[in-house]
């Protein structure tokens, strides 16, 4: 019998979601600092059969943790103990910012979903850079060439006007690219005013060109863009064509959705949660559809990272079969507990055997 669902119902389900998240992350960090993380790592390390090479990087497993959990880069090593093949840190902005007012994170338990309007709360690029450098150095020392991969997800500072967004992204890139195994341009969060306008091709093309140029000191760092599930199909096609034209390394699909259709949670609870991006199981169908559309458009010319509504090893296997090179999760982590990545890795390795 799995213990964590009982713990969730007894200790976390009644608690403010952001507070519960903080406690959970703190306990994972404590386990790492006290040495229990080494035990967790021995239990959760991916089977060697799961090793995969994507964008020239060696991933211990195709399954990783999406941006949003480790916003401040403080729990990266502890999260790796749990068996994730990569951790995507962020979203990180040029300047530190507190994010939107609380409460800003809400569970939809019947849907195994979450609504968030966090607003890119983080410590800023200058504070994150030395943390990332230290993490990569420790990983190199501990794992050598087969270490878990660290992605860095960057977004726009809220107070920066949209017409100055390119300079803001360039600043973050110059500071963070030297410490990233791969870099993600996030233009798809619904919680920073105007951000999704940067997904429009006329705005996205110069932004991505500028980020690529700003990362010139790390010409080898793979560059990806993260898109929203709410894009129309023709806009998904346009982003795919642009990514190929600019020589990007990949696309991450998808971020959270503004949609609220088909939810099992009662309407009053959903309304009370208010604005924000919905993630978790309700996003699965659209994320899978976007993945399939991207695969048809780009074939094997770009790496595709699928995220949205992934819970089980079967879900991950379905995304890989549909064309994903890597798969990420986040929301299900809140419901499944610390051995979630281990269960997925075990399920995937059994399939491969």
How far apart, in Å, are the Cα atoms of 313 and each of 61, 63, 150, 300, 320? 12, 9, 22, 23, 11
Residue 189: active-site member: yes
* Rounded mean pLDDT, 139-155: 90
* Rounded mean pLDDT, 327-333: 96
The answer to whether 177 touches 218, Cβ cutoff 8 Å, is yes
* Rounded mean pLDDT, 139-164: 92
Residue 145's pLDDT is 73
pTM of the model: 0.94
Under 8 Å CB-to-CB from 234, ≥6 apart: which residues?
Answer: none
Q: What is the DSSP string of 200-224?
A: SHHHHHHHHHHHHHHTGGGTTS-EE
The bridge status of strand 326-329 relative to strand 63-65 is parallel
256 is in an annotated binding site: yes
289 is in an annotated binding site: no
Residue 42's pLDDT is 78
Question: Rounded to whole angstroms, how far apart are CA atoms 26 and 34?
Answer: 12
SS3 64: strand
The answer to whether 194 touches 162, Cβ cutoff 8 Å, is yes
Residue 29's pLDDT is 85
In the chain, what are the helix, strand and coil shares in percent, each to the nearest 5?
50, 15, 35
Tokens at 293, concatenated: 């559309």
Q: What is the pLDDT of residues 207-248, one digit of tens each?
A: 999 999 999 877 789 999 999 999 999 999 999 999 999 999
Q: How far apart are the first and last CA of the chain?
A: 25
Beta strands in the chain (DSSP E): 52-54, 57-59, 63-65, 86-92, 105-108, 113-116, 149-154, 182-186, 223-227, 250-253, 277-280, 303-307, 326-329
Question: Rounded to whole angstroms, how far apart are CA atoms 49 and 52?
Answer: 8
Residue 323 Ramachandran class (φ > 0 left, ψ -120 to 50 alpha, else beta): left
CATH of 4-352, one of 3.40.50.920, 1.10.730.10, 3.40.50.2300, 3.20.20.70: 3.20.20.70
Residue 9's pLDDT is 67
Tokens at 14, concatenated: 């009644």
SS3 8: helix
Scanning the structure block, which residue is given the tokens 């010409």? 219
Task: Enumerate the domain spans of the chain.
Answer: 4-352
SS3 71: coil
Give the other-Cβ count within 10 Å of 95's Cβ.
16
In this predicted structure, which of 33-37, 103-107, 264-268, 295-299 has the lowest mean pLDDT? 33-37
Among candidate residues 189, 279, 287, 306, the one labeled active-site is 189
Residue 218's pLDDT is 74
Tokens at 204, concatenated: 């996205």
Residue 30's pLDDT is 84
* Rounded mean pLDDT, 89-105: 96
pLDDT tier at 3, thresholds 50, 70, 90: low
70 is in an annotated binding site: yes
Instruction: Please give the distance of CA 88 from its chain centroid, rounded to a whole number.
Output: 5
250 is in an annotated binding site: no
Higher pLDDT, 142 or 87: 87
Tokens at 84, concatenated: 């994730």
255 is in an annotated binding site: yes
Q: What is the pLDDT of residues 39-92, one digit of tens each?
A: 777 778 899 999 999 999 999 999 999 999 999 999 999 999 999 999 999 899
Mean pLDDT of the chain: 92
Overall residue count recorded for the chain in this entry: 353
On the question of pLDDT at 309 being above 70, the answer is yes
68 is in an annotated binding site: yes
59 is in an annotated binding site: no
71 is in an annotated binding site: yes
Residue 293's pLDDT is 98
Question: Rounded to whole angstroms, how far apart are CA atoms 100 and 331?
Answer: 19
On the question of pLDDT at 344 being above 70, the answer is yes
Q: What is the pLDDT of residues 246-287, one digit of tens each?
A: 999 999 999 999 999 999 999 999 999 999 999 999 999 999
Burial of 149 (0-12, 13-18, 19+ CB in 10 A): buried
323 is in an annotated binding site: no
Residue 19's pLDDT is 87
| DSSP letter assigned to residue 10 | I
Residue 45's pLDDT is 87
309 is in an annotated binding site: yes
On the question of pLDDT at 121 being above 90, the answer is yes
User: CA 259, 260, 266: angle at the middle one, nearest 5?
Assistant: 170
280 is in an annotated binding site: yes
Scanning the structure block, which residue is given the tokens 């390394």? 249
């Amino acid at each position: 019998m799995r213990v964590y669902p009982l713990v969730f119902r007894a200790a976390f389900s009644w608690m403010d979601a952001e507070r519960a998240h903080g406690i959970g992350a703190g306990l994972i960090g404590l386990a790492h600092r006290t040495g229990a993380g080494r035990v967790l790592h021995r239990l959760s390390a991916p089977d060697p059969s799961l090793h995969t090479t994507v964008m020239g990087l060696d991933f211990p497993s195709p399954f990783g943790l999406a941006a949003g959990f480790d916003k401040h880069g403080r729990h990266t090593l502890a999260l790796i103990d749990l068996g994730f093949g990569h951790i995507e840190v962020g979203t990180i902005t040029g300047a530190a910012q507190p994010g939107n007012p609380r409460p800003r994170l809400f569970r939809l338990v019947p849907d195994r979903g979450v609504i968030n309007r966090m607003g890119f709360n983080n410590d800023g690029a200058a504070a994150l850079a030395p943390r990332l450098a230290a993490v990569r150095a420790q990983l190199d020392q501990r794992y050598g060439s087969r270490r878990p991969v660290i992605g860095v997800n960057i977004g726009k500072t809220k107070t920066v006007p949209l017409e100055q967004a390119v300079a803001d992204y360039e600043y973050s890139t110059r500071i963070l690219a030297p410490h990233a195994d791969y870099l993600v341009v996030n233009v798809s969060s619904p919680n920073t005013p105007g951000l999704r306008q940067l997904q429009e091709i006329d705005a996205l093309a110069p932004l991505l060109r500028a980020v690529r140029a700003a990362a010139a000191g790390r010409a080898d760092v793979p560059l990806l863009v993260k898109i929203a599930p709410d894009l129309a199909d023709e806009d998904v096609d346009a982003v795919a064509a642009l990514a190929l034209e600019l020589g990007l390394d990949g696309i991450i699909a998808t971020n959270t959705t503004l949609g609220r259709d088909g939810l099992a949670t009662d309407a009053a609870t959903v309304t009370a949660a208010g604005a924000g991006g919905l993630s978790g199981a309700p996003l699965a169908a659209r994320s899978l559809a976007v993945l399939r559309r991207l695969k048809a458009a780009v074939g094997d010319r770009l790496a595709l990272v699928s995220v949205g509504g992934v819970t089980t090893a079967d879900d991950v296997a379905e995304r890989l079969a549909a064309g994903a090179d890597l798969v990420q999760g986040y929301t299900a982590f809140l419901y499944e507990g610390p051995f979630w990545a281990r269960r997925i890795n075990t399920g995937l390795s059994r399939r491969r055997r």
